[in-house]
Amino acid sequence: MNPSQTPLSTNSAQPQPSPLSQTTSGPNTLDIVNLRKVFGGRGKGGGVVAVNDVTFSIRRGEVLGLVGESGSGKSTIARLIARLYQPTSGEIRLNGEVVPHKLGGRGLRQLRRRVQMIFQDPYASLNPLHPVSYTLARPLKIHRLARGNTDPQVRVLLERVGLTPALTYAAKRPFELSGGQRQRVGIARALAAQPELILADEPTSALDVSIRLDVMNLMLDLKDQEGLSMLFITHDLAGARYMSDRVAVLYAGTLVEIGPAVQVIDQPQHPYTQLLKSAAPKPDAGLTPDHIEARGEVPDLSTLPPGCPFEPRCPYAMRECKDGLPRMYDVGGEHQARCLLHDPAIKARQAVAGYAP
C-alpha cells in the first residue's frame, strides 16, 4: 500500500501527507467492479436498477468523464463511491484497497476525506451564514489536517484556486461571490481534505457559459500540477471531451461504451453514444447534424428488457439483441462498446448480406 494512504480499516486519526503528488505508477486510484444499486423492491424482483453491474477504473492522475442522459445513474455512481448510498452489490477499491461493505464511523470519515465531491450548485453546497474562511477551515479541522491557526492553509487553498487576494475572499460570504467564484470555493473545499479522488458531479452546468471554461481550465490545471484523479460527470459531450482522458457512457444504469475521450466522442461505436452525439447542440449552426433515428423513450428502470437495454430504441436492433445483455467488445485500442454490431459473427453475417450500419 502506498504510504500516503490512510487505511479505511484502521482507527488511525492521524493526518497523512498529501497524496496529491502521487506518481502515476501503482494501482488505479479507483476500481469499481460489478457495482449495482437497486432502489426499493425486494430481493431480485422489483425496484429501480439505477446502476447495473458497472465496472470501470480511474488511473492515477486521470480524468474519467461519465456521460449519459438524465436518470442514467451518473450521480448514483458518484454517491456509491462516496458511500452516500450503500451499494446493493459489487466492489469498490480505492488505491487498490477494498472499501468494506460495512464501514464504521471512523472508516466512513476516512473515506469521506479520501474521496471528495464537487457539486453542481455551488450556492446550495455552501453555508450562506459563514465566510469562506470558515468553509475552508472546517475540513482541515474535521480531518485533523491543521493544528491551531488555519489561516495560512486557507490562504494557500484560495491562491490555488485563483481567488486572490486571498484575505479579501476569505472574509466574503457566498452571496458576495459570483457563481464561478463560488465553484472555486467548492473546489478549494474539496482540495482542503487532501483527497485521492475527486467526484465532480456536473460542476459547471449551473454556471454561465462564459465562465464554464475558466472553471474547467482550473480543474485541468490542478490535475496537471497535483496529479489529481477525477470522475467528471456531465451531460455535455464537448465538455467531457475537453476535460477527460477517457470517457464512459451510461445508458439506463449500464455502461455501454468506454475509451479514450477523443475516440468515444468523435467516433462513437455504440448506437446510443451516436444518438447522444447527434442530439448534442452544434455550436456551428452551419454543420450538418450527425443523425440517427432512435425510437421510443428512456426505459423504465424497474422493468428493463432482458437483452440490450437500448434495444427498444435502437435503429439497428436485431433479433439477437433481445437474448441477453451483450458483452463489451474491443473496438480498437482501449475503446470498448457493448453492442452486438461488433460481434465478429454478426459482422460476418452482415458483410455477406452487404449490410453495414
Ligand X SMILES: Nc1ncnc2c1ncn2[C@@H]1O[C@H](COP(=O)(O)OP(=O)(O)OP(=O)(O)O)[C@@H](O)[C@H]1O
Site of interaction with Mg ion (CB under 5 A): 74-75
Q: Among 39, 85, 123, 316, which residue interacts with ligand SF4 (rule: CB under 6 A)?
A: 316
The CB-of-254 to ligand X minimum distance in angstroms stands at: 12
Pairing of strands 254-260, 246-251: antiparallel
Whether residue 139 has a cis bond before it, omega within 30° of 0: no
The CB-of-176 to ligand SF4 minimum distance in angstroms stands at: 49
72 binds, among ligand SF4, Mg ion, ligand X, none (CB under 5 to 8 A by kind): ligand X
Of 141 and 322, CB closest to ligand SF4? 322
Site for ligand X contains 75 (CB under 6 A) = yes
Of 19 and 73, CB closest to ligand X? 73
DSSP codes, 64-102: EEEE-STTSSHHHHHHHHTTSS--SEEEEEETTEEPPSS
The CB-of-314 to ligand X minimum distance in angstroms stands at: 20
The CB-of-342 to ligand SF4 minimum distance in angstroms stands at: 8
Cβ–Cβ under 8 Å, residues 127 and 177:
no
Give Cβ neighbours of residue 130 (< 8 Å, ≥ 6 apart).
173
Site for ligand SF4 contains 341 (CB under 6 A) = yes
Site for ligand X contains 271 (CB under 6 A) = no
Cβ–Cβ under 8 Å, residues 115 and 199:
yes
236 binds, among ligand X, Mg ion, ligand SF4, none (CB under 5 to 8 A by kind): none
The CB-of-17 to ligand X minimum distance in angstroms stands at: 34
> Rounded to an integer, what distance in angstroms lies between the CA atom of residue 272 and that of residue 293?
10
> Rounded to an integer, what distance in angstroms lies between the CA atom of residue 22 and that of residue 6?
14
| Residue located via cell numbers 498529501 | 18
Cβ–Cβ under 8 Å, residues 212 and 204:
yes
Contact string 238-277 vs ligand SF4 (x = CB under 6 A)? ---------------------------------x------
Site for ligand SF4 contains 314 (CB under 6 A) = yes
The CB-of-251 to ligand SF4 minimum distance in angstroms stands at: 9
* Paired strand residues for 42: 45
Q: C-alpha distances in angstroms, 291 versus 112, 201, 283, 297, 310?
A: 43, 28, 16, 17, 17
- Which residues contribute to the site for ligand SF4 (CB under 6 A)? 271, 308, 310-311, 314, 316-318, 321, 326, 339-341
Binding residues vs ligand X (CB under 6 A): 39, 48, 50, 68, 70-76, 235, 301
